[in-house]
């Protein structure tokens, strides 16, 4: 059984695949100080709730944008799964994505994995929007090649910055307000954040489409992507398991070698 792990700056996603189907998925706050034993105890409990045992895991692949977390996850795989984890980005791991930008080494593992997942699921040129700590917009060519992108602050980061930098602005929950024009501080902030980000997404998508000059499908993924379902006018598909699909494909490509 394969365990795929996507370590983001804010959250870490764990998903089990048995070679044919996805079985379970869990999400945890990313904590680089959390030990292999902590993760094993946590996983053992959650797997038991699904009638499974941690000893069933015999393969592991990891994508991480948090370098400090790699040590504990490598130990987790060695100690409890009895196997060496595959880390996307390591020199011996083949990704198979043509990277057509000036500095290929600067592309994060998460963006390449999302590109692979999107190309696996949809034909043609793609624009992948990943909403997390940062919001990224990545162009994937018809052959699956990475052709560049855009990085902007994530919506949660902006909410935190408003609260931290302005003494009289409270911390708010991110949600779609009933009206655009707020009638109090909280509703005004919610409108600015929600509709501001919706317009950021739609505005950038329109500019990308104009510059790209060819048909391109827009895929949204990430922890907060679902916020924009029914609000964005430019997103064609919402795929909340895009990273898991990409990690599974990277694993299969490396097992063929």
39-70 pLDDT tens trace: 999 999 999 999 999 999 999 999 998 999 99
Q: Which of 14, 233, 213, 102 is nearest to 6 (CA)?
A: 14
- pLDDT at residue 257 in the model: 56
User: Which CATH architecture is the domain 2-87 placed in?
Assistant: 2-Layer Sandwich (3.30)
Point out the residues that are catalytic.
110
* Distance from chain centroid for Cα 191: 25
CA dihedral (85, 90, 96, 102) positive or negative:
positive
Could you give the C-alpha distances from 98 to 80, 114, 170, in angstroms and in order? 35, 14, 45
Residues 198-221 pLDDT 10s: 999 999 999 999 999 999 999 999
Q: What angle do CA 128, 30, 3 make, to 5 degrees?
A: 70
Look at domain 108-115+123-245 and name its CATH class: alpha beta
Distance spanning both ends of the chain, measured CA to CA:
19
Q: Which of 54, 81, 59 is nearest to 1 (CA)?
A: 59
Question: Mapping DSSP to helix (H, G, I), strand (E, B) and coil, where does residue 248 land?
Answer: helix
User: What is the spatial distance between Cα 93 and Cα 64, in angstroms, rounded to a whole number?
Assistant: 14
CATH 3.30.420.40 range(s) for the chain read 2-87, 108-115+123-245
Residues 163-195 pLDDT 10s: 788 878 888 888 898 899 999 999 998 999 999
Question: Mapping DSSP to helix (H, G, I), strand (E, B) and coil, where does residue 187 land?
Answer: helix
Whether this prediction's pTM lies above 0.85 is answered by: yes
Q: Return the higher-pLDDT residue of 129 and 255.
A: 129
Q: What is the mean pLDDT of residues 109-127?
A: 94
């Amino acid at each position: 059984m394969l365990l795929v792990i996507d370590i983001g700056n804010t959250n870490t996603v764990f998903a089990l695949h048995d070679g044919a189907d996805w079985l379970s998925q869990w999400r945890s706050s990313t904590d680089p100080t959390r030990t292999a034993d902590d993760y094993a105890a946590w996983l053992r409990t959650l797997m038991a709730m699904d009638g499974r045992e941690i000893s069933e895991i015999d393969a592991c692949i990891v994508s991480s944008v948090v370098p400090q977390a790699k040590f504990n996850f490598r130990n987790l795989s060695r100690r409890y799964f009895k196997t060496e984890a595959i880390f996307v980005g390591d020199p011996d791991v083949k990704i198979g994505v043509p990277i057509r930008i000036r500095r290929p080494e600067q592309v994060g593992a998460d963006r390449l994995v999302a590109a692979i997942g999107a190309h696996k699921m949809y034909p043609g040129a793609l624009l992948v929007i990943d909403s997390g700590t940062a919001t990224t917009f990545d162009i994937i060519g018809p052959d699956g090649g990475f052709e560049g992108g855009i990085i902007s602050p994530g919506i949660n980061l902006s909410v935190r910055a408003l609260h931290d930098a302005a003494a009289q602005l409270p911390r708010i929950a991110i949600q779609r307000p009933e009206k655009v024009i707020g009638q109090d501080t909280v509703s005004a902030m919610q409108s600015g954040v929600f509709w501001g980000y919706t317009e950021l997404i739609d505005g950038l998508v329109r500019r990308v489409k104009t510059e790209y000059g060819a048909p391109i499908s827009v895929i949204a993924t990430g922890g907060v992507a679902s916020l924009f379902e029914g609000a964005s006018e430019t997103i064609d598909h919402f795929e909340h398991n895009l990273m898991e699909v990409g990690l599974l494909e990277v694993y299969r490509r490396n097992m063929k070698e």
